[in-house]
Amino acid sequence: MEISLAQIERDFFGSQPKVFCEIVESGGEVAGFAIWFLNYSTWQGKHGIYLEDLFVKPQFRGQGLGKALLQRLAQICTENGYGRFQWWVLDWNEPAIEFYKSFGAIAMDTWTVYRVSDQPLQELAKKKPPLK
């Protein structure tokens, strides 16, 4: 893991946060969280929520807390007129896939995720685009 406490403080609690977190408790103890941020759909002309991380501690799983976190994010979407709520899941994570499908989530199988990071990101950034 590369993240530092200073980065969390800046990004979640700074003067202009760009990342948000919903916490769920059980018996006065933090049991899980959902980390999210806004994205934008040019198809819809609306913002949406991208769920970066959903985590419930193992001893609290099966109590509906993960679903409660997702329901809260869905509420934030509807309260704010956001058009989408989306996330990625690893294709081998069958328990998570079945969990998401149980409340109507559908896989976007026609889309492929691409990523540039580390050295390829550095190399791409060095190229001078022909923009004026």
Distance of alpha carbon 61 from the chain centroid: 19
DSSP run (H or E) holding 100: helix 94-101
Confirm whether 50 is a catalytic residue: no
In one-letter notation, the amino acid at residue 124 is L
Query: 94: which 2 tokens?
Result: 């069958």
* Domains of the chain and CATH, by start: 5-126 (3.40.630.30)
DSSP run (H or E) holding 39: strand 29-41
69 class by beta-carbon count within 10 Å (0-12 exposed, 13-18 middle, 19+ buried)? buried
The per-residue pLDDT for range 9-68, each reduced to its tens digit, is: 999 999 999 999 999 999 999 999 999 999 999 999 999 999 999 999 999 999 999 999
The per-residue pLDDT for range 76-116, each reduced to its tens digit, is: 999 999 999 999 999 999 999 999 999 999 999 999 999 99
Q: Which of 40, 50, 100, 114 is catalytic?
A: 100
**Structure pTM?**
0.88
Q: Which carries the bigger pLDDT value, residue 131 or residue 116?
A: 116
